[in-house]
Structure 1
Amino acid sequence: MDLKKELILYVVFGVLTTVVNIIVYVIFAKFLNIDYIISNIIAWFLSVLFAYITNRIWVFESKSSNILKEISLFFGGRLFSGVVDTSLLYLMVDILLVGDFVSKVVTQIIVVILNYVISKVVVFK
């Protein structure tokens, strides 16, 4: 697949993954009144599942027969970006006193870019 098509698909599925992440976060944090950090962890986990499936099938068109290695690398990379996401969210909300929803949107922009690099260079190389 050419890079332009790959980037377009990554952006489309990255946006959808971000939407999944934010919707799940809002459901848990705002409607169920669960702590924002716990809500963020749940949102991260469910959005990673969505991202792995879409990235494997449509973005990087993986044909790897070693799915265990691939999914382990994918989740490891996403775990790293999840820690970055949660740390930045904490910094923005508790230290900088930015609203949690605005902070969540900002952190997701950073995470989408980080995740592409990890997927391209490490997971689906």
Structure 2
Amino acid sequence: MDAIKKHRDFLMYCIFGFLASLLNIAIFNIGHNNLHMQLWVANTLAWFISNTFSFFVTKVYVFRTDMKDYSKLLHEGTYFLVSRILSLIIDDLFMIVAVLILPWNNLIIKAIDQVIVGLFNYFSSKWIFDYNNRHLLQKLKEIREKRKEIEKL
């Protein structure tokens, strides 16, 4: 039981990350295989929709942070989006290389891709939503401000 409590965030992230990955794969499949969108367009659309879903479930159910403070929501949303744009680049490059250059099955590659991107996303989300990391960022800002004040003297 202690192991479950200790790794609760990761286990919850895995559950909701799995759901976001299924959503991503389904949207990619519909866009690329059924609607015949270009690979990167279908992949980017799937990324956008699944990451919008992921932001809210990660915030509320995984890291249990408050939704009432709109300034904080915007701040976290910005960091979330920036970190996820990095994962989109990894995602698109992996898909392009594996599917277009090495002609492998796009749905199998998409599933493998979601595991790799999911791990990257977990650690970046943990950084963004973790209460202790927010204090660290605040302390770094305070140190920077004190240095500027000292330099003015």
Q: Same fold (TM over 0.5)?
A: yes
In the TM superposition, residue 112 of structure 1 has moved relative to its aligned partner by: 0.5
Distance (whole Å) between structure 2 residues aligned to residue 42 and residue 5 of structure 1: 30
Q: Which residue in the other structure is 1:60 paired with?
A: 63
Q: Which residue in the other structure is 1:33 paired with?
A: 36
Task: Report the structure number with the largest CA radius of gyration.
Answer: 2
Q: Which residue in the other structure is 2:129 paired with?
A: 124
Distance (whole Å) between structure 2 residues aligned to residue 104 and residue 3 of structure 1: 31
Return the TM-score normalized by structure 2: 0.76
Q: Which residue in the other structure is 1:5 paired with?
A: 8
CA contact (8 A) 2:39 2:96 kept: no
Distance (whole Å) between structure 1 residues aligned to residue 6 and residue 57 of structure 2: 17
Q: Does 1:72 pair with 2:78?
A: yes
Q: Which amino acid aligns with 2:57?
A: T
Match of 1:83 among 72, 78, 89: 89
Q: Which residue in the other structure is 1:16 paired with?
A: 19
Match of 1:51 among 54, 57, 60: 54
Q: Which runs of 5+ in 2 are unaligned?
A: 131-153
Distance (whole Å) between structure 2 residues aligned to residue 96 and residue 118 of structure 1: 29
Distance (whole Å) between structure 2 residues aligned to residue 103 and residue 41 of structure 1: 15
Distance (whole Å) between structure 1 residues aligned to residue 104 and residue 56 of structure 2: 33
Return the TM-score normalized by structure 1: 0.93
Q: How many residues align?
A: 123
Distance (whole Å) between structure 2 residues aligned to residue 60 and residue 70 of structure 1: 12
Provide Cα deviations, 1:46-89, integer angstroms capped at 9, x if missing partner.
00000001001000011373111100001111111011001011
Q: CA RMSD in A?
A: 1.2
Higher RCO by CA contacts (8 Å cutoff, separation 6 or greater): 1
Q: Which amino acid aligns with 2:8?
A: K
